[in-house]
Structure formats: structure tokens, C-alpha cells
Structure 1
Amino acid sequence: MSLLFSSYPLARPALFSLDAETAHELTLSSLQKAYDCRLTRHLLSSRPQLPTQLMGLSLRNPVGLAAGLDKNGAHIDALGQLGFGFIEVGTVTPRAQAGNPKPRMYRLPEAHSLINRMGFNNDGLKKFIDNVRSSAWRSEGGILGLNIGKNADTPMERAVDDYLAGLEGVYPHADYVTVNISSPNTQNLRSLQGGSELSELLRPLQEKRKELADRHQRRVPLVVKIAPDLTAEQIDALADILPQYGVDGVIATNTTITRNAVEGHPHAGQAGGLSGPPVHALSLAVIQRLRQRLGSDIAIIGVGGIHEGRHAREKMAAGADAVQLYTGLIYRGPALIKDCVQALAGAAANAR
């Protein structure tokens, strides 16, 4: 394991002394500087191997980076050196937007969790595409997912226009495209997960993808990211609708608006989505029900609350085909990636 990976626990106290969003930005800029310098780049490099197929894509391993950590796609190559099998960046909206007022991210260290209400802060579609095009990750065999959303000031009745613009913009540069309809931090966004609302969104997206596939001579998988707070009936309705519109995968799940697991914490009353270990059980329940309803035809990417290798193994046992990390990286550092790959490799070996 590289010096960078083993030194993260030493750096964490200093980072945790800063505001959470400031620490996040400092970590990314430091990672980028280490990557940009030839003398230190080798300290980042890790490529754990566990070849996996996902939606027809060949992954080096099934442990990915969840969207949200690199919203503008500005650090793809540096993040790619940490050992991920695939990377997802965004969420990007058609127009740049500042997001919600600061402070908007809070640590709950006792629960190894975060609460955020970022609100899709990003530099807009044009800058995002420029960043993606300038990265070398895909040309070097890395798999890249691009996550799209709607602007906060776009009326809900016109939300589909934003998603269509996002799909058209990112399509030529993506290995898969994620439609984010599950963030709790854009007003009413989660209503798009409802039966009729979801159909009204996916129908034009399916038509646009057919047009883009013809134009670019390449069919890019379409993925939908859902919330962990859905009822069993809502999950069943989703499972009935997704195959009708050619959706290739589901990311289960985003952050939760529940607070049962962190009740009494000073920040528990903050608005936003809770991430970290409290989401793990919620995510597992969604994955299990989805897999039962979907069969094997649609891929499931399990995300939410992976803090150690066994959590990744549990996601896969519940029916996921791959997993993604975010909050666990904040608390554990890059060593978590290798921990998860090793746990999944061990599970695969035991299954043979």
C-alpha cells in the first residue's frame, strides 16, 4: 500500500479540525497537486484487480466512486489513481448554480456519517464536459459514469428539459449516464420517483437516447439513482416501470432524510441527506427487494454506508453487481477501496 494510503489516518485529525466543506475542497486540491507532480504521482497509484462485467462494461474491479465527491469532473485522473474500478462524477446541471447557502455539510463522527444539503452546486454543463474531455481516465481503460440533474430554479413541470439537455451533452463522453432523481436537497426532486412522474421522465429520455445512439453509433447505458426512503410499494412500482424504458441499471441508494440512527446528535436536526453507516441497512433492503422484482436483467449498484469491506460484501450478497463509496472515504481514506476489493475477492473465491 502506498505511503499516501497509510498516512491518511495521520492527516485526518487536521482535516477534521476544518469545516467539512473546506476540508473536502482541500483534500481534492491536495490530491490533484500530488497527481500533477511526477515525483509524487507514484504515491497515489493503486490498481487492485477483480475483473467484473457491469451493463456490458469491463471494470478492473467492482468498487466505484459515487457521484457528489467530484461534482465538476475536475479531478477524475487523480481520483482514478486511488484504485477504483469505475468513477462517477457530477451531479451536473445544464446551468451553473451555487447550491444552497453555507454551511451545508456536517460531520457526525460518532456515527462515521455526514449530513449535507449541497444542492447540486456545480459549474454547469459546458465546464463539466470540458473537464471530462481533458481527462485521460477513459483513454487508459477506466470506466466513467456521468451524473445529471435539474437546476433548482427549473420548474418541476419542465424538469425533463434539463435532463434531456444533460443527456445530450454528456452522452459522447460517458460510459454510462446516471439520472439523479433522488437528492433530497433540490426541492420536490424526489417526486420524480413516483410512478406517473417517472414514466413521463423516462419516456423522452429513452427516445433521446435512441436518437443519440444512432448519431454516435454507440449505445450508452442509462442508470437511475433512487432514494433509500421508498416504501415497498414504491420500490415495486419502480421495478415495474424501469424495464419498460430500457433502463440498464439502478443505483441504490442516495442519502436518507431519516434521523433515527443519529437521534440526539448535535447536528441531527440539520436539513439535508444523511450518509454513512446508518444508510447501509436501508440500502440493503432496497437492493434485496429490487433484485427480487427485477430478476437479473437490470444491474444494481449498491451504495450507502460502506465503512469496511464486509459492508461491500453484504451489498453484493443482497443482489448488487457493484458498489460505490463516498462517506466511508472521508473517514477511512483510500485504504477502504483496497479493503473492499479484497473482501469481494475473498467472497468470490469462497463461492467457487
Structure 2
Amino acid sequence: MQFTHTHKENIMTTMTASIAGFTFDDILLNAAGVYCQTTEELDQILEAPGAGSLVTKSATPMERPGNPGVRYADMALGSINSMGLPNLSLDYYLEYAIAHQADKPLFLSIAGLSKDDNLQMLREIQASDFNGLVELNLSCPNVPGKPQTGYDFDTTRQILTEAFTFFKKPLGVKLPPYFDIAHFDMIAAVLNDFPLAFVNTINSIGNGLMVNPDTDTAMIAPKGGFGGLGGAIAKPTALANVRGLRQRLNPEIKIIGTGGVKDGRDVYDLILCGADLVSVGTTLHQEGPTVFNRLKHELETEMKVKAYDDVAQFRGQLQTLD
């Protein structure tokens, strides 16, 4: 339903969302892995106008240097990366999150290299004073020799079954992109069996390859040049995953839409497909934290064109042609 107002320029635009009892005054945040490696970067996101939250770098139990060599490159339609989970350890990000959780609702992201890693970190978080949302990253495509857990539906179920025997804080999962309708059905059947607060979809499109035309070499070094694709090239896949999961997941499981955001219309489209929050990766990497305020104002402009003054009015309202 559209709401038409006169003197639209005088109407305040509402861009809020709620997940697991936490209210976000703005709907934008960083994608895990971008501008969140150090406390200095996290501070910039925390203080950036237009950013409603932040997610920490996906953490492993111990510090990791990540993959060696050139591991990120911009390309015409976005970016390609093979970072390999560089991070400063769970304890580093947990300490930061506890110190700043009164400022905004925060997401603490973890990405163990094994089921035991994940369960160990969840136990540490459960025992801590952290009062926020936890993102269990089941979708890192760039660790050599480690498959994406999110493509193994039985293992995903096993991890969540064990986690929810002891973990009582708001928990969500970061998912890889799915490319088959049957896989939407299969992952939703798993996720709907658990009291998840949210899903974050998508992580980068795994194992693409791009060539540097000047040197006839791969654009990045790790894994022979294979890396995750982000930016504009990922938008159709992101929209499909947000839409496909919103149609299948329990309504209480909220969705963070990630992938392909360059401007306010991209944010609008992810919300239209069902996203509650929208995170920004490649464009944030390219522009820095000022991108949030730009995107917020561009989204507001798009909403005024459509005669909306609240993102709730068009969230999940994509129309089809059949």
C-alpha cells in the first residue's frame, strides 16, 4: 500500500528496524570484513552518520594473518577478494563489543574453521557480558581447503542443534549465496527449526576469477586467483536470496540484505525484496564510512518519489508479473 502526502518534503522519513528486541535507528551497517578489522575502523563505523549498527570482523578463536599476497582488487563490476579470514581474535572483538554495546545494538561475528571452533566461541560469548547480536558466519569462501558450511545442510543443522543447547543470546547466521530453488527450500527447512534472530544474505559469490588485462595474470594471488565476488555484480544474486529466503523463513527470523549496494536505489531494492537491515561491503571499502550518509539520503529521495515515508511500507512488497 502506498501512502500519498501533500507537502512531502516536510514529512519525516522513518528508516528503522527491529531484530530480537533491538531497535535500529538507521537500517545501514557495514558488511563483515569491511572497515571492521581494528578498533580504529570500528570506531569510524560506530560514529558514521547514517550507520545504524556495525558488525565486527568475523573472528576465529586466535588471531589470523589471512591469505598472503594481493588478496583484494577492484574490477569494473565490483570487487574480487580472497582475504582468508584475517582477524585479531574473538577476545579482541568481544572486548570492543562489550565496551560499546550501550552506544548502538552491535553484531559480533564469528567464523570458526571447525564446528568445535564455533561452539567454543559461542560458549565464551554466552559466558561474557556481551548484550547484542551474534552472527555465526557459515559462508567464508576464501579459506584454502575449507568448504563453506552453509552448503552442507546436515552439518549446518548439527552445529545449530548443539549451539542452541546452551546459547541463549540472539543468534543469526551469515549465509552463502544459493543458486537453486531447491536449495532455498532445503536451507529454510533447516533454519526454521531453530529460534534464530536473523539471517544475513549473501556473503560474496565464491570462487570467481578475473584477469588483469595489462599483465595477463589473475587479479589476486591466493588460491590461484580464485576469490569471492562482491559489489554490483552480486546484486541480482543478493536480491534473489533475500527474496527467496523471505518467502520461506519464519516471519520472526529477520533478514540482513548484503550485496551489490552502490546507491540508494540498491538499498531500496533489497528492502523491497524483504530485508530489514542492509549492509554495505565493496562500496564502503571504496568510499569509506561517509557512504552511509550518502546512501541514506539517496534512499530517502527514492522513497519520496514513491510516496513512502517509512521503510515498513514497502518492505517485502515486491510485485511479480505473473
* Pairwise same-fold verdict (TM > 0.5): yes
Deviation of the 1:270 alpha carbon: 2.2
Segment of structure 1 superposing worse, 304-313 or 221-230: 221-230
- Does the 8 A contact of 1:73 with 1:90 survive in 2? no
Question: Under a length normalisation based on structure 2, what TM-score does the superposition of the two structures give?
Answer: 0.80
**Over residues 99-123 of structure 1, what are the superposed CA-to-partner deviations in whole Å (9 max), with x where a residue is unaligned?**
1112211221x22x22111111122
Task: Pick the aligned partner of 1:313 from 234, 253, 268.
Answer: 268
Q: Distance in 1 between matches of 2:19 and 2:57?
A: 20
In the alignment, structure 1 residue 177 sits paired with structure 2 residue 134: yes
Measured in 2, the distance between the counterparts of 1:179 and 1:278 equals 25
1:237 aligns with 2:186: yes
Distance 1:49 1:316, change over 3 A: closer
Residue 85 of structure 2: which of 98, 117, 120 is its match? 120
1:52 paired residue number: 17
**1:174-210 Cα distance to aligned partner (Å, 9 max, x none):** 511011111111233314432211111110111121x
Residue in 2 aligned with 1:190? 148
Residue by residue, what CA displacement relative to the aligned partner does 1:35-71 show, whole Å, maximum 9, x if unpaired?
xxxxxxxxxxxxx973322232111111111111213
Structure 2 counterpart of 1:285: 240
Could you tell me the percent identity over the aligned residues? 25
Secondary structure, counterpart of 2:193 in structure 1: helix
Q: TM-score, normalised by structure 1?
A: 0.73
Counterpart position of 2:7: none
Change (3 A) 1:237 1:229: closer
The 10-residue stretch of structure 1 (241-250 or 225-234) with the greater mean CA deviation from structure 2: 225-234
Task: Return 52-61 or 79-88, whichever deviates more.
Answer: 52-61
Q: CA deviation at 1:272?
A: 1.4
Q: Is the 8 A contact 2:56 2:93 kept in 1?
A: no
The gaps in structure 1 that reach 5 residues or longer are 1-47, 152-158, 214-219
Seen in structure 2, the aligned counterparts of structure 1 residues 193 and 72 have a Cα distance that, compared at 3 Å, is farther
Tell me whether 1:349 sits opposite 2:309 in the alignment.
yes
Q: Is the 8 A contact 2:30 2:284 kept in 1?
A: no
Structure 2 vs 1, CA of residues 96 and 183 (structure 1 numbering), >3 Å: closer, same or farther?
same
Question: What is the Cα deviation at residue 317 of structure 1?
Answer: 0.3
Counterpart amino acid of residue 327 in structure 1: T
Please report how far the alpha carbon of residue 276 of structure 1 lies from its aligned counterpart in structure 2 after TM superposition.
0.6
Inter-CA distance 295–270: structure 2 relative to 1 (3 Å threshold): same
1:177 counterpart SS class = strand
Q: Distance in 2 between matches of 1:324 and 1:203?
A: 27
**Whole-angstrom distance in 1 between the partners of 2:33 and 2:111:** 12
Give, in whole Å, the separation in 2 of the partners of 1:199 and 1:338: 38
Correspondence 1:4-15 to 2 at 5 A: none
Instruction: Report the more deviating stretch, 272-281 or 64-73.
Output: 64-73
Pairwise mapping of residues 56-205 of structure 1 onto structure 2 (< 5 A)?
A: 56-69=21-34, 70-73=36-39, 75-83=41-49, 84-108=51-75, 110-111=76-77, 113-133=78-98, 135-136=99-100, 138-140=101-103, 142-151=104-113, 159-171=114-126, 172-186=129-143, 187-205=145-163
Counterpart in 1 of 2:319? none
**Secondary structure of the structure 1 residue equivalent to 2:285:** helix
Query: Counterparts in 2 of 1:267-286, with a 5 A limit?
Result: 267=219, 270-286=225-241
Q: Which residue of 2 aligns with 1:45?
A: none
More helix by share: 1
Q: 1:289-329: CA deviations, max 9, x gaps?
A: 11111252210100011000100000000111110012111
Distance 1:174 1:280, change over 3 A: farther
Q: How many residues align structurally?
A: 283
CA distance in 2, matches of 1:116, 1:92: 18
In structure 2, how many angstroms separate the alpha carbons of the residues matched to 1:223 and 1:344?
A: 26
Relative contact order (alpha carbons < 8 A, sep ≥ 6): 1 or 2 greater?
2
Q: Which residue of 2 aligns with 1:208?
A: 166
Report the AA paired with residue 129 of structure 1: L
The Cα RMSD (Å) is 2.5
Question: Aligned partners of 1:291, 1:335: CA distance in 2, in Å?
Answer: 30
Q: Conserved in 2, the CA contact under 8 Å of 1:92 and 1:149?
A: yes
Indicate how the Cα distance of structure 1 residues 332 and 192 shifts in structure 2: closer, same or farther if over 3 A, else same: closer
Q: How far apart in 1 are the matches of 2:288 and 2:86? A: 24
Cα distance, 1:263 vs. partner?
7.6
Q: For residues 292 and 117 of structure 1, do their structure 2 counterparts lie closer, same or farther at Cα, with a shift above 3 Å needed?
A: same
Q: Aligned runs of 1:303-342 on 2, under 5 Å?
A: 303-342=258-297
**Can you give the 5+ residue segments of structure 2 that lack an aligned partner in the other structure?**
1-12, 315-322
> What is the deviation of 1:287?
0.9
**In the alignment, residue 112 of structure 2 is paired with which amino acid?**
K
Aligned partner letter, 2:46: G
Matched residue, 1:29: none
